[in-house]
Amino acid sequence: MPTIAVENYLKHTLLLAERSRDGLVPMGELASAVAVVPGTATTMVKSLADAGLVVHQPRRGLRLTAEGRRVALNVLRKHRLVETFLVNVLKMDWAQVHTEAEQLEHAISDAVLDRLDALLGHPATDPHGDPIPSVEGALSSAVYATLATCATNVSQRVVRVTDQSADFLTLAEAHGLRPGAAARVVDRNLPAGLVTLRHSRGKRFALSLAAAGRIWVAPAETA
């Protein structure tokens, strides 16, 4: 059984690798993701490499092996299903569940996970719109536009909110920006770094370009 620390390093390696085309994760990024000093990450990565979970290219970065990816996906699946459970069944605030799931993902067995998955109706995404890896280890990675890049003055549907901080999620919710909700960009001021949106009931509000980039959208179905 991998330890909690090992599971965390692998999970963050997976998440960081997703957002970097060559899949090579720099040591420093991993260190700050798992909140340790760089030297600690180096030490740990060497031992993960010895265990065959990652490949370490000194001074360049690391990538998951097939086995490391399998473990990481299992942890991610637990994390996201637990989040879904906490929001859908226990009715907890979506801004808090990330922290809770961070602990539970390491304590839940595969047997419990399967029951939970069935109870929730085999969901494809968690409450933030993040895809839930399948039991077989498939992880959908569709490419979406964001509020920072989508067409303006076209009705969009929020599909994913890629920020786990409670503050951001609370803000997003206050503006009705939950997965499934409608949104429309009415103006985008690049020099000012501002995106202006209009909510369904006509209200306008602004987000920074950085914040807008964390909200993924798809053109609304006009069927």
Partner DNA sequence: AGCTTTATTTTGATCTGTCAAAATGTATCC
Partner DNA sequence: GGATACATTTTGACAGATCAAAATAAAGCT
Q: Looking at residues 113 to 142 of the shown chain, list those that interact with a copy of itself (rule: CB under 8 A).
A: 115-116, 119
Treating both helix axes as pointing N-terminal to C-terminal, what angle do 97-104 and 166-174 enclose, rounded to 10 degrees?
140
Tokens 């006509």 identify what position? Answer: 202
Are 92 and 100 in contact by the 8 Å Cβ rule? The answer is yes
Please tell me the distance from the alpha carbon of residue 123 to that of residue 133, in angstroms, as a whole number: 10
Binding residue (CB under 7 A) for DNA from 33, 36, 182, 218 = 36
CB of 77 to a copy of itself, least distance (A): 16
Does 166 engage in binding with DNA (CB under 7 A)? no
Establish if 92 lies at the interface with a copy of itself (CB under 8 A). Answer: yes
The nearest distance, CB 112 to a copy of itself, in angstroms, is 6
Residue selected from 1, 19, 21, 35 as contacting DNA according to rule CB under 7 A: 35
Interface with DNA includes 71 (CB under 7 A)? no
Q: How far is the CB of 127 from a copy of itself (least distance, A)?
A: 15
Q: How far apart are CA 80 and CA 148, in angstroms?
A: 25
Please state the length of the chain.
223
Helix, strand, coil shares, percent, the chain, to 5: 40, 20, 40
Query: Using the rule CB under 8 A, which residue among 14, 81, 86, 195 binds a copy of itself?
Result: 86
Q: Which residues bind DNA (CB under 7 A)?
A: 3-6, 26-29, 31, 34-47, 56, 58-59, 61
